[in-house]
Structure 1
Amino acid sequence: MLRALCFILLSFIISSCGVKQTPSINKVNINQNWKFKVVKANVANDSWEQVSLPHTPKIEPMVVNDQWQGDAIYEKTLDISPTWKDKKVFIRFEAAMSHAQVWLNDTKLGEHLGGYLPFTYDLTDLISETKPNIIKVKLSNLDNPIIGPKPLNKLDFNTYGGLYRDVNLIIKDRLYITDEMQANKVASGGIFVTYPKVSVKTSTINVKTHIANDYKQSKDFTLKQKVYFNNELVAETSDDSLSLQANDNHQYNQILNIENAHLWSPNSPNLYQLSTEIYLGDELVEQKNTRIGIRKFEFNAKHKLLINGEKTFLRGVNRHQEYPHVGYATSAQADYRDAVKIKSAGFDYVRLSHYPHSKAFMDAADELGLVLIDAILGWQYYLENPEFKQQIINTCHDLIRRDRNHASVLAWECSLNESWMPEPFIADLHRAVKLEDPTGFSAGWQLGYDLYLQARQHRQKHYEVPTQPYNVSEYGDWEYYAQNAGLNQDSWSDLKEEERTSRQLLSAGEARLLQQARNLQEAHNDNLSFPAFADGYWVMFDYNRGYADDLESSGIMSLYRLPKYSYYFYQSQRSPQIKSDKFDSGPMVFIASEWNGHSSNNVRVFSNADEVELWLNNTLIAKQKPTQNKLSSHLNHPPFEFAMQQFKPGQLKAKAFIDGELVAEHSVTTAGEPAGIKLSIDISGQLPAVGVKDVVFAYAQLVDSKGNLVHTNGEEIHFSTTGDIEIVYSSDSLTEQGKAAVLLRIGESLKGGTIQASSSALNIKSSPLQFENLSN
């Protein structure tokens, strides 16, 4: 809502500056009213299903061990306005899994390989004026050796299917800014922004704009760049006249200087709005807005990362974009909530493993201050085949074209992760990065890239002192799970003891969740003793694996985005001085205990404070500084460990102090029997959104008669809804640490929408929660 108001205000400001607004510039979302059917044995059945996008061909169970694969057809009748007759009309698919063939009426527009990046077709000369215009998409998500990665039955993650991101019609004047994907030009197409000079005093913005003239005669025009900060115009180019011949295209280069620049960094993610405008005479025929952040990534002689000249270590995490049940078919709001959770957990960096994630997530990273390593699809699969290699190189080009203007992108991982690639192919991929983004960094898990990404399990067997910037790309999972370096993860041999692994479900119990947190502490502490500029824990959220019959549960949050103890360990590593109203931040303290008869008497407390007091039933146990040992020698904020003589029921309370001042408190109370249910909706910075197929989590927490949290596992909770709120898969869910979760899909209205939870076995139920009353 806030961002929408800002856009409206910006439009008003632009209008007040003398811009003649024109209805000829349009982006029409066409996510609604598609027909869908599955093709079986190369014959499509006659039963069409009415769907809207984002769409997945199958709603999956929580554990996906039989993901749908096959061919499917989507069709939609386009609503073509008569006012578009003399305009350019394009259709842009933000993603389609994974081999797409597209037709308009009887004309095949083309084919696209790869399920994660956009593709665009020009419909202008193919639109019929006498009959309905039907767009048809045939999709196959079957294993494809040219696309990769491994076949699904050997793959360690799921790729799902369908038209799972937006589809838009884009209507433009015949003199227009090109689409960066459709133009298919190296370091060109659309708008490309770089920063030749970055300083607070004066920064320089270089804007390259690729324009095409589809008129039958040359055109004189004005190309104007305007830069806004907090809706205030801070720089603009002059009104120099330009000319472009008929049926020609050209990339124009323009420079703007920004005085008293607000630079982008993880702790200060300042963003500007660049407005690119084309005028024919005094008529505005196109306006394109690009959100940008002025920043400089570089490395010093010791391979330390400098952001705007300041030495920075990036504590990060890997993310899979999967949601339960709907796979990749999530909303922009759901992606934003994921980003808020990652930032709230104390991370400033995300490796987008192992494929391109949505633009919505990258927009959120720009806004929240998450540095990204942006990756192409690849995992433990290489094919010595010219078509395969060209597909991978093409994907690298397309990835950079889509994402090059994001302030958050540190490097391009144009590398097939954990896939042994020959040196000439690595050189080709590195060259592709430099062609598309001459000032950007390439990254890969083998030598030959600007940045070297090495997983901790590989380091333990193959470490050499790095001679280039070094990133611990993954850690904390595999080295506690198996005895090998992790290049054959579909093999079940050499596994370690189950109670020692980092793969612990939220329902695994206090002891195993503490073990996971101990593993992560040990591994992160170890990483800090190496010359790395960043490390990325594997992984943020539990996720499904194509070849396995269980969840990969090394996440610091569950598949349903509920935190484990490890979440609070990482949160404690962030400085208490960092504060934001967009995510959890500032001083924190957390007691990692259920405090019942099965709890450890060695109570672990996570905090970023100087000292912590632990109280039991209002009696002070001890006031301590962080516990120093070999597992914490390099940590910013080691955990506090309190030795309790014995368990006594009641309330444990932790009080955190900085410079003697109380800054945070947390308490845990021995719970009685479940006597009630408290409901909540996961908002995480974004209220449920209507009309966009938003998906949100609802949580039912068991409480005793005094309102204390009950940590019981395996209790069945039944959910029910009213209004235009849909439970996506099942109305029944089992508690983990006393909390049950379901995924909800939001319809066209929140009015009258409620959710309620009950347990027939416990004979308890919640009060209805009303969606209209939710707030941030």
Structure 2
Amino acid sequence: MKSTFFLTSILLLLFASQNLRAQERETDFNFDWKFTLLEDTKIPEQIPMTDNTWRDVRLPHDWSVEFSFDEKMEGCTGYLAGGVGVYQKHFKTPSDKNQKSTFILFDGVYNNATFWLNGERLGENPYGYSPVYFDLTSFLKENGEENVLTVHVDHSRYADSRWYTGSGIYRNVKLITVDKLHIPIWGTFVTTPQVTADEATVQVETKVVNSRKGNSKFTLSTDIFDAEGKVVASDIKELKLSAGKETKISQAISVIQPNLWDTETPNMYKAVSKLMVNNKVVDKYTTPFGIRSLRFDKDQGFFLNGKSTYVKGVCLHHDGGLVGAAVPKGVWKRRLEKLKEAGCNAIRTSHNPFSEEFLDICDELGFLVQNEIFDEMDNPKDKQHNLNEQSVQYITRGYTEHFQKWGESDLKRTILRDRNHPSVFQWSIGNEIEWTYPGYKHVSGLWDPEVKGGYWNKIPDLTADEMKARYNALPDRKYKLAETAQRLAKWVKEVDTTRAVTANLIIPVASCASGYAGALDVVGFSYQIAQYDWCKKNYPDMMFTGNENSGLLSEWLSIIENPMVFSMYMWTGIDYLGESQDKWPQKGWDGDMLDFAGFEKQGWNYFKSIWVNKPQISLGTLPVVDSEFTVDELSGKPVPKSNKSLQWRNSESNMHWNYSDGEMVLVEVCSNLPVVELFLNGVSLGCRSLSECPDRILRWAVPYQAGTLTAKAGFDGARIKAELKSASAPVGIRLTTDKTTLSADGYDVAHVIAQLVDKDGNEVKISNEKLTFSLDGDATILGVDNGSNKSIQDYQSNELLTSQGRGMLLIQSLKQKGSIVINASADGLKSNRIQIEIK
């Protein structure tokens, strides 16, 4: 083996010396676009259009988030408008089209997009979440004239989803130029079928296309690079391919003592594939990947690299607050790093595929990803009020209109793009889809008139056989969910057999009876944790776990108390726009851990104390009268009003110590240490023990007195503490930033946080002021946010009213170096200045 590797390395060095740099395949195609909104949905007769008066935009771009929130719009998509827009880009033909082929790759356009080059129709893509590419070669100009790429986007059905979608070319676009002999887009598939600490087999499957006029002899060389850029293994094959044909080549490459990818040490490798003709590199394709093994056991749960692993997950929607759906990489990275800090190790992309860039970050940070494909299938959902469709309206018609024709293509294109990401460990074919298929409620028996207490977490009164009989007795219907699910699972397996197929089931007992659950490798429950044992007893060969869960301790206990159940995905990790039916001015859904601006909530502290095996302690407060507790007259301790009061309600807890003198305040401490002592102005208020707190929250009832509230706990001979200090009136603004240096690439972002402070520097969280941000230098202000769900201020601004005494400015670099200075001002308040270098 060593001699073979040595000879292979020598050959590769010789090839490299003869061709030091292969031509780069990909060109960033995000800059220098023209954009306009149209008045109606009719596609213009003349394509390309005259665009000299249109706006200049750079991609990714979401035009909906540029609008003001409007009560006349629909809460399901965040009270923001949709519409119809057109994008155009002028560019020169990149190379001789007789020698090279040119493709355009769109990572996501929302939605109902149609594409042209020089007036010639390339095609369409109705689904706003699936990537799509087109071959431009035959339509490119040959005489030096400019080409014009036109994209028409029809989001006039602006309430076509149950959450905020955004509008426009909201993900990256790449121009790809390759030799006529080349590896196509998504043309590699890297798997690791055998993994041990000593050795791993890396299986590289490479597709090669020969669009040359004659037959081609070529060499395929594949190098495996580690994270330090060293070649750790290689393989070379000599091949021949006829004109107009394509082939698939498999290479099994051994990596000795591999650095495995997992959630704690997300080690990455790269497979660099080169096609060489006459010792000249004609194409180079780089595939990042990780070496890891996955195993799902129906009785013992999930194993990553042979190690039993709890999936501590959150569900996320795809918007990033003030940037809408066009989320810069730096915004996602900041948010995911915060989730990681709280112990989260998994993301469910609810309820659609996310961007390629998002998965790159998950690879890098060590998140497991359940990649979800569809929220609608054969039958529509009601967007305005959820469940099955209640009324047929133009504005709410969604993906069901296209599923029969486009479902297979959308699913397979997504999987082909994403299947090399080590973070992706499950494919979810759908979310809570049962509502849309008639009879499922009846099958479960949970909605029968004599059943009391509703269906939520209820053990069925019917037997499994009685449910099957009810299902079989249903009237004939056009679409059967089990058949659709089997078809979808088959499509997944046609392009990837290395990951489990799952779905999120809202009526799992009925889905087991119907055969829907039988199409899945892992049956994911949407909440109904009380039904795990019933389902396992009646369907012992199936594997059940959580795919959507409340942010409650009970959901986490369902995992650690049942070996089969390995996952929870909290709904949701971060606040998101939309799904706010008739709740104006509430524009979105309250998440459990981070708000719209990425500020931590008390739920972040709570789950950090549960998920992170390091000493944790944090403080939260709220008036007793606003809580689920009363105060016992004899002991002075808080007493729950009911058992439900012991469920964590993070939205009620404040992170300040400012109340009226003598007001009775409920103090809540989140900690993983056994005993915590509370102090007010240095005076002990007694200890509480985790052993007496069934929800792992330690509570005191404290008459308010201004000063310092301190929680202390001992650990390993030391003391850790958390403090809240009473604040007086604000006198200043404290600016901080997560970055003091940005790359001059036109993408890098900095989050500038403004916090009101009093004369002693204490954070003021109960007083709010209108702030104006100013920027001196060359950078782009992407917008402002205060994190509040009820804030309907324009995002596209440099002014905002703070919430909890704070606000955020998001800036983005341009493609030029220099310094920028950021200031904030408000009546009667002083602010420091932030300087950021752009290099």
Taking structure 1 as the reference length, the TM-score comes to 0.82
Q: Supply the distance in 2 between the matched residues of 1:159 and 1:371 (Cα, whole angstroms).
A: 24
Contact 1:370 1:408 in 2 (8 A): yes
Correspondences of 1:177-192 after superposition (within 5 Å): 177-180=183-186, 190-192=187-189
Equivalent in the alignment of 1:414:
429
Q: Which runs of 5 or more structure 1 residues have no equivalent in the other structure? A: 1-12, 144-151, 181-189, 477-518, 577-585, 632-637
Contact 1:560 1:697 in 2 (8 A): no
Instruction: Note the alpha carbon deviations across 1:506-560, whole angstroms, 9 max, x for none.
Output: xxxxxxxxxxxxx733544456545521001111221221654322123421111
Aligned counterpart, 1:592: 620
**Could you tell me how far 1:70 is from its partner in structure 2?**
2.5
Query: Residues 293-442 of structure 1: matches in 2 within 5 Å?
Result: 293-379=290-376, 382=379, 388-419=403-434, 420=436, 422-442=481-501
* Cα deviation digits, residues 320-354 of structure 1 (max 9, x gap): 12123431112222222222122122201110001
Q: Which residue of 2 aligns with 1:552?
A: 589
Per-residue CA shift, 1:387-408, capped at 9, x if unaligned? 5234223222122111001101
Kept after mapping to 2: 8 A contact 1:295/1:407: yes
Moved more, 462-471 or 310-319: 462-471
* Secondary structure of the corresponding residue to residue 200 of structure 2: strand
- Deviation of the 1:426 alpha carbon: 0.8
Cα offset, 1:623, TM superposition: 5.6
The alpha-carbon deviation at position 682 of structure 1 amounts to 4.1
Identity of aligned residues (%): 26
Q: Does 1:668 align with 2:724?
A: yes
Q: Which residue of 2 aligns with 1:22?
A: 21
Matches of 1:203 and 1:267 in 2, distance apart? Answer: 19
Aligned to 1:634: none
Q: Deviations over 1:237-259 (max 9, x none)?
A: 34331111111110100001111
Superposed CA deviations along residues 718-741 of structure 1, whole A, max 9, x for unmatched, are 222222234431232222222123
Q: Give yes or no for the alignment of 1:650 onto 2:707.
A: yes
8 Å CA contact 2:126–2:402 kept in 1: the answer is: no
2:105 to 83, 87, 92: 92
> Is residue 237–residue 254 contact of structure 1 (8 Å, CA) maintained in 2?
no
Structural RMSD (CA): 3.0
Contact 1:97 1:163 in 2 (8 A): yes
1:228–1:273 Cα contact (<8 Å) kept: yes
Q: Is 2:169 the partner of 1:170?
A: no
Corresponding residue for residue 267 of structure 1: 264
Inter-partner Cα distance in structure 2 for 1:240 and 1:303: 42
User: 1:126 maps to which residue?
Assistant: 139
Change (3 A) 1:596 1:203: same
Alignment of 1:148-227 (within 5 A): 152-153=158-159, 155-180=161-186, 190-227=187-224
CA–CA separation in structure 2 for the residues paired with 1:614 and 1:329: 45
Question: What is the CA–CA distance in structure 1 between the aligned matches of 2:217 and 2:169, rounded to whole Å?
Answer: 40
Match for residue 109 of structure 1 among 122, 132, 135? 122
Moved more, 371-380 or 216-225: 371-380
Q: Contact conserved, 1:454 with 1:470, CA < 8 A, in 2?
A: yes
Q: Counterpart of 1:48 in structure 2: which amino acid?
A: W
The whole-number CA distance in structure 1 between the counterparts of 2:812 and 2:327 is 10
**In 2, Cα distance between equivalents of 1:128 and 1:202:** 51
- Check the 8 A contact 2:742/2:837 in 1, yes or no: no
- Displacement, 1:563? 1.1
Q: C-alpha displacement at 1:275, in angstroms?
A: 1.3
Distance in 2, Cα, partners of 1:156 & 1:612: 43
1:457 Cα deviation after fit: 5.4
Q: Does 1:472 align with 2:486?
A: no
1:649 to 1:616, Cα distance in 2 relative to 1, 3 A: same
Q: Report the Cα distance in structure 1 between the residues aligned to 2:667 and 2:355, rounded to whole angstroms.
A: 40
Q: Is 2:803 the counterpart of 1:736?
A: yes
Structure 1 range deviating more: 380-389 or 651-660:
380-389
Distance in 2 (CA, whole Å) between partners of 1:62 and 1:773 is 33
1:699 deviates by 1.9
Q: Deviations over 1:50-74 (max 9, x none)?
A: 1111112241346875433232211
Equivalent-residue separation in structure 2 for 1:81 and 1:426 (angstroms): 43
Asked if structure 1 preserves the Cα contact closer than 8 Å seen for 2:113 and 2:124, the reply is yes
1:715 maps to a residue whose letter is E
1:592-620 C-alpha deviation (Å, 9 max, x unpaired): 24223358654322234455444443455
Provide, for residues 300-337 of structure 1, a one-character-per-residue CA deviation record: whole Å limited to 9, x for no partner: 35141111111111111011121234311122222222
Distance in 2, matches of 1:392 and 1:463, equals: 33
1:469–1:736 distance in 2 versus 1, CA, 3 Å: farther
Larger gyration radius, structure 1 or structure 2: 2
**d(CA) in 2 for partners of 1:730, 1:381:** 41
Assess, with a 3 A threshold, how the Cα gap between structure 1 residues 215 and 85 changes in structure 2: closer, same or farther. Answer: closer
Compared with structure 1, are the counterparts of its residues 629 and 621 closer, same or farther at alpha carbon in structure 2 (3 Å cutoff)? closer
Task: Report SS of the residue matched to 2:31.
Answer: coil
Report the alpha carbon displacement of residue 588 of structure 1 after superposing the two structures with TM: 3.3
Structure 1 CA distance, aligned partners of 2:175 and 2:361? 24
Partners of 1:62 and 1:622 in 2: CA distance? 48
Counterpart-to-counterpart distance in 1, 2:325 and 2:263: 27
CA distance in 2, matches of 1:68, 1:257: 54
Corresponding residue SS for 1:98: coil
Contact 1:90–1:124 (CA under 8 A) maintained in structure 2 = yes
With normalisation by structure 2, the TM-score equals 0.76
1:704-715 matches, within 5 Å, as: 704-715=758-769
Q: Is the 8 A contact 1:381 1:416 kept in 2?
A: no
Tell me the amino acid that sits aligned with residue 30 of structure 1. Answer: F
Q: Which moved more, 1:555-564 or 1:352-361?
A: 555-564
- Give, in angstroms, the shift of residue 48 of structure 1: 1.4
Q: Which residue of 2 aligns with 1:142?
A: 156
Cross-structure match for 1:605: 669
CA distance, structure 2, for counterparts of residue 351 and residue 600 of structure 1 = 40
The gaps in structure 2 that reach 5 residues or longer are: 1-11, 45-49, 71-76, 381-398, 438-480, 506-516, 622-655, 784-795
User: What is the aligned partner in structure 1 of residue 393 from structure 2?
Assistant: none
- SS for the counterpart of 2:535 is coil
Counterpart selection for 2:830 from 759, 765, 772:
765
Question: In the alignment, residue 570 of structure 2 is paired with which amino acid?
Answer: Y
Contact 1:354 1:379 in 2 (8 A): no
The correspondence of residues 23-62 of structure 1 with structure 2, limited to 5 A, is 24-41=23-40, 42=42, 47-58=53-64, 59-61=66-68
Q: Structure 1 residues 587, 750: CA separation in 2 closer, same or farther (over 3 Å shift)?
A: farther
